Amino acid sequence: MTETDPLARTRRDYDRVADIYDDMVRHGREDALATGMITAFATLVSAECDSGVVLNAGCGPGHWTDWLDRFGVSASGVDLSPGMIDIARRYRPDLSFEIGSLLGLPAVDATVQGVLAHFSVIPYTA
């Protein structure tokens, strides 16, 4: 990837703000709308699926992956930004966090019971 590549730019930009973003989502005001939506999603997944994991796609520093796990839904995270993934792994070394892109997700099959992509689908322009 080059710096003119939209993915490379996105990765670079989120790497730069990873610590600030982590501080904001963990210590800022609770996002009641997001919590409500993700609670509904997690409840549905729990009711419909008896195995598998939720893939948190574009997981950032992993706070929603952590939240899903505490809610009782197995979850793993993938993100483009190594800086974000470092933070996620630091908080929850027991969960799986991988560097990767939504444009080429690994093995989304029957082992995945749902995908949470919260604020991570970014339309790219040429």
Ligand X SMILES: C[S@@+](CC[C@H](N)C(=O)[O-])C[C@H]1O[C@@H](n2cnc3c(N)ncnc32)[C@H](O)[C@@H]1O
Chain residues in the site for ligand X (CB under 6 A): 7, 10, 14, 25, 58-60, 64, 79-81, 84, 101-103, 118-120, 122
Q: Which of 120, 102, 126 is nearest to 14 (CA)?
A: 120
d(CA 88, CA 102): 17
CB of 63 to ligand X, least distance (A): 7
d(CA 34, CA 90): 23
CB of 33 to ligand X, least distance (A): 12
d(CA 25, CA 81): 16
User: Which residue, 49 or 102, has its beta carbon nearer to ligand X?
Assistant: 102
Question: Of all residues in this chain, which one has the CB nearest to ligand X in the complex?
Answer: 60
User: Which residue, 14 or 113, has its beta carbon nearer to ligand X?
Assistant: 14
